[in-house]
Structure formats: C-alpha cells, structure tokens
Amino acid sequence: MGAGIRVLAALLAALAAATAGVTAQLRQDYYAAVCPDLESIVRAAVSKKVQAQPVAVGATIRLFFHDCFVEVRASSSSSSTTACVSDGPGRLAMLQLPACMQGCDASVILVSTGNNTAEKDHPSNLSLAGDGFDTVIQAKAAVDAVPACANQVSCADILALATRDVIELAGGPSYAVELGRLDGLVSMSTNVDGKLPPPSFNLDQLTSIFALNNLSQADMIALSAAHTVGFAHCSTFSDRIQPQSVDPTMNATYAEDLQAACPAGVDPNIALQLDPVTPQAFDNQYFANLVDGRGLFASDQVLFSDARSQPTVVAWAQNATAFEQAFVDAITRLGRVGVKTDPSLGDVRRDCAFLN
C-alpha cells in the first residue's frame, strides 16, 4: 500500500509539473556525463540503415510523429479520465485521475501482449513501415554496445535523434535535439483513437488537432512538409482520382499519372512516392508541388487551396531557408509533447519493444 501511495503522489506531482512546464527539464547535453558520444553513435547507425534502406527516412519521421501525437488528454466535459501508472515491472494499474500523458515516449514501438493491444496495432498505425522501427532498434543496439552507454539512453530520445539524422541525411536541416525523455510504461491501441489526422482532413480540422498538442497552424503547415519524403498506399488518396469525379484542386496531368499507377482493383500493397519531383530529398519541393496542384493527400492540397494557409505555402515554396527554420521550430515543439521526466511515469527500456 505504501508503494502505491508513493506512485500516486508522484503521478499527481508529475502532472502538476507538466502544466508548469516540465519540458524545461529537457536539455541538449542530457547524456554528456554518461554517454558523451551518443549523437555520433546514433548518427552512424542511422546512416548505415539509410544507406541500406532509403525508405527508412520517411518511415522514421512518420514513426516519430505517430508516437508524439498520441497524447492522452482529459476530456473538457469531465474532471477525470482513465490514467495510467506503473504497478511494478511490466505491470499497469488504471486509476481515475487527470490523464497521464503519452506523447513522445516511444510507446508506439511497444508490441502487443496477450491481454493488451498496443498502439502499433491500431488501424492507423498498421501502415507504419518496419524500417522506421528497425532504425530505432539498430541505433539502440549501437548505443548499448558501448559499456558506458548501455541502458542509459531512452528509446524515446533515440527516436528523436534518429528523426533528426534521417532528415539531415536526406538533405534537410540539421538541428539540436532536446534530450531527457523517459520511455512510457503504457501502450494501448484505444489511446490512438481520434489522435492522428487522416488524409481527408480540411484546414480547420488540421488546425484543431494540432492545437490540441499546443502546435500552431504554422507548425502544422511546416510539419506537413514531412510528406516531401515517404510513400502512400493507393487507398489513402483513391477517392481523389475517381475517373468521373477527380478532385478539382488536383493537377489534371498528375491525376492521370495517379490513375495509371492506381487503377481499380490495384494490389493494396502498392505505394507511391509522396513527392513526385524530388522523392528522396527533404526539401521545400513539397510546397512547390502544392502550388502546382500536386499534393497527394486532400490534407496536403488544402494547404494551398484554402486562402487562409495559401500565403504560407507560397512563401515557403519560394524560400527554402524560411521553411527550414519554421520546420526546425515546429519539430522541436513536437518533440516536447507529453514528455516524461519523472521516474514514476517512465524508465529507460532495455528493449524498445518490451516493457522492462
């Protein structure tokens, strides 16, 4: 009972600290004393993975987004909701408390167990490419192979570093990564419901779902440019290219190309590059594509077709430096969503796919 009370008290204290700005505990030199070569170790492992499988770039970025965006929040119509705390190694206790945060805690990497379906097996996450998970697993193995670093660095921080590294390897901006996240103790498929924006969202819906994570409309537009790399299955945009009802905001030639690549009855495993011009480069071509009507998803093209966001799209299509700075600011803020720094709410996993 004493241990349970201590966990409860720590949870309440951590939640109070979160509203006061617990993310201030993140810092770039968090591992300087225990693993000073961390960033070079991770970068080498990520570089090796990307050289072998270039698709790891888009896969890793998407994995980071899907991890951070699943943050459990208390409903505005209720003073409490089901929250999660550790009840010993590998076990969970459910309490009626203000919601604990998920967010950037590598919970998306945890595998399902006999009595729990994890986040990664939610329908919205089934298309997460295995190369994204493997990028983190390989980097974690490289870090733990160094005796001083073994079991010192969280999977959540390795994912954040790997995301930065794949972006840089693809020609995108390099940036300092804030560190100090602990790995989450909970991963439930039900927590994903309604947290990830589908490709059909309009501007208001996109703006609202990003705002729930304290991200602005400008942050949303910048982060959407992650679609400058990666792939998408035909089913995610097929409604826009129906022969008798092509989305009028889509470039006619682009629509014809997509129809040829994704005919009726196409193999559901077929996937197309998100950026038809520079598919392997992390650049501002994404915005130039939108200006030209070549956004693959409705949620991409709406950023140009809606007059409220169009000026930002046009500006970043013309100014790569301005876009890169906005992207760095946005992904840094994304990396602060729901982080755990209190040991009662997280730990450093020995294996990223399993609780300790």
Domains of the chain, residue spans? 25-72+100-347
Q: What's the CA gap between 344 and 9, in Å, rounded? A: 10
Q: Strands, E, within 65-115: which ranges?
A: 81-86, 92-97
Q: Which of 98-102, 115-119, 267-271, 304-308 has the lowest mean pLDDT?
A: 98-102
* Both structure tokens of 344: 């009662």
The CA dihedral of 308, 124, 158, 143, to the nearest 10 degrees, is -160
The answer, yes or no, to whether residue 339 has pLDDT greater than 60, is yes
The answer, yes or no, to whether residue 355 has pLDDT greater than 60, is yes
* 168 labeled part of a ligand binding site: no
* 72 labeled part of a ligand binding site: no
Q: Per the residue annotation, which of 43, 49, 62, 66 is the catalytic one?
A: 66
DSSP 3-state of 44: helix
- The share of the chain scoring above pLDDT 90, in percent, equals 82
Which architecture characterizes domain 25-72+100-347 according to CATH? Orthogonal Bundle (1.10)
pLDDT (tens digit per residue) in 93-137: 333 333 445 899 999 999 999 999 999 999 999 999 999 999 999
The answer, yes or no, to whether residue 73 has pLDDT greater than 70, is no
* 103 labeled part of a ligand binding site: yes
* 341 labeled part of a ligand binding site: no
* 347 labeled part of a ligand binding site: no
Question: Mean pLDDT in the chain?
Answer: 88
* 67 labeled part of a ligand binding site: yes
Q: Which residues contact 122 (CB under 8 A, 6 or more apart)?
A: 189, 192, 193
Q: What is the mean pLDDT of residues 260-273?
A: 94
Task: Concatenate the DSSP letters of all residues of 156-211 into one string.
Answer: HHHHHHHHHHHHHHTT-------B-PPEES---GGGGTTTS--TT--HHHHHHHHH
Which pLDDT does position 79 carry in this prediction? 35
66 catalytic per annotation: yes
